[in-house]
Amino acid sequence: MRSVRSLALESASLLLAGCGIQASEVVEAGGPAVVPVAPDQLERMLLFFVGPDGRPIPVARPLDWGDSPPPTAKTLAALLADPTEEERAAGITTRLPAGPKQVEVVPAAREDSVVGQEAGRPAGAPEAVRVTTTSRCRSLDAAPLRQLVCTTAHAEDPEGLVKVALTGSDGSLLAAGCA
């Protein structure tokens, strides 16, 4: 009799608790929305600034009509210049230090050797783009570094998969990719 009673209680509570629609946890459902961005890759300059929450926000600036993709140094120069008025209105900022900077880019294709740490890599592996800037870089935060690395990677490679080795006024950094 006891077990029958408890069974009845259980089923009753099950029935009552399960009534209606309950709040739920956050549930992942499928991937993100993939959207085409205008202008297309060949007609834009992709710069990575920082949103109000500290996360990178890409900005696609159109090239002038007929221009071919600019050299990476020019793209980096645009990055080092501050966001435009319109971009700032949307809350986009840069974390890179202010002031005039010089940037020199040595593309990976022309480099014969990499830094010592990369010596053990198998031959034929992609090599890092070397970027030398007059500003400091070792003391930079992750956000400005990501700005530099991602912008450089996407300028060098449409897929943005190349590694970038930064050298600043205060020393060099290990080659890193845009994650």
Residue 122 Cα distances to 118, 125, 150, 156, 165, angstroms? 9, 6, 24, 22, 18
When asked if residue 31 is in the footprint of other proteins (CB under 8 A), the reply is yes
> Can you tell me the distance from the alpha carbon of 146 to that of 152, in angstroms, rounded to the nearest whole number?
10
When asked if residue 66 is in the footprint of other proteins (CB under 8 A), the reply is no
> Can you tell me the distance from the alpha carbon of 28 to that of 17, in angstroms, rounded to the nearest whole number?
25
Give me the least distance between CB of 7 and other proteins, in Å please.
Answer: 6
> Can you tell me the distance from the alpha carbon of 137 to that of 86, in angstroms, rounded to the nearest whole number?
28
- Stretch 74-113: interaction string toward other proteins, x if CB under 8 A: ------------xx--xxx---------------------
When asked if residue 159 is in the footprint of other proteins (CB under 8 A), the reply is yes
Residue choice 149, 160, 162, 165 for contact with other proteins (CB under 8 A):
160
> Can you tell me the distance from the alpha carbon of 126 to that of 109, in angstroms, rounded to the nearest whole number?
9
> Can you tell me the distance from the alpha carbon of 173 to that of 138, in angstroms, rounded to the nearest whole number?
6
Give me the least distance between CB of 128 and other proteins, in Å please.
Answer: 17
Q: What single DSSP character describes residue 82? A: P
When asked if residue 32 is in the footprint of other proteins (CB under 8 A), the reply is yes
Give me the least distance between CB of 39 and other proteins, in Å please.
Answer: 8
When asked if residue 51 is in the footprint of other proteins (CB under 8 A), the reply is yes
Give me the least distance between CB of 144 and other proteins, in Å please.
Answer: 17
